[in-house]
């Protein structure tokens, strides 16, 4: 009945360039980091795509690209989308 269903998660800094996912939670002891992320449009349920790790850590969401500081990217936990092995 069910075939090949998996759910994976990762903190944003551990994702590889090109990976996509959905923000599962914003986890930080720094309330200002969570406020800053929400102000950038990064909140639970938003799609996120890692564009670049170096020289800047850049993600794409909602049609815009955002460079994230270490403080902000460490606060994001992502439910990753599996990549298709057929394309």
| pLDDT above 70 (res 5) | no
Tell me if the domain spanning 8-80 has CATH number 2.40.110.10.
no
pTM: 0.82
Q: What's the confidence (pLDDT) of residue 7?
A: 57
Q: What's the confidence (pLDDT) of residue 29?
A: 79
Residues 6+ apart with CB under 8 A from 23: 42, 43, 44, 45, 46, 48, 76, 77, 78, 79
DSSP annotation of 83 reads P
Query: Is residue 74 classed as helix, strand or coil in its secondary structure?
Result: coil
> For residue 32, what are the CA distances in angstroms to 10, 28, 36, 37, 80?
22, 9, 6, 9, 25
**Domain assignments of the chain as residue spans, ordered by start:** 8-80
Q: What is the pLDDT of residues 10-53, one digit of tens each?
A: 899 999 999 999 999 998 778 999 999 999 999 999 999 999 99
Q: How confident is the model at residue 87 (pLDDT cuts 50, 70, 90)?
A: very low
Query: Is residue 76 classed as helix, strand or coil in its secondary structure?
Result: strand
């Amino acid at each position: 009945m069910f075939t090949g269903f998996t759910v994976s998660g990762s903190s944003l800094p551990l994702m590889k360039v090109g990976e996509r996912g959905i923000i599962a939670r914003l986890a930080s002891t720094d309330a200002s980091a969570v406020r800053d992320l929400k102000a950038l449009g990064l909140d639970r349920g938003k799609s996120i795509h890692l564009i670049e790790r170096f020289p800047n850590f850049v993600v794409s969401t909602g049609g815009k690209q955002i460079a994230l500081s270490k403080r902000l990217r460490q606060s994001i936990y992502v439910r990753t989308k599996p990549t298709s092995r057929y394309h």
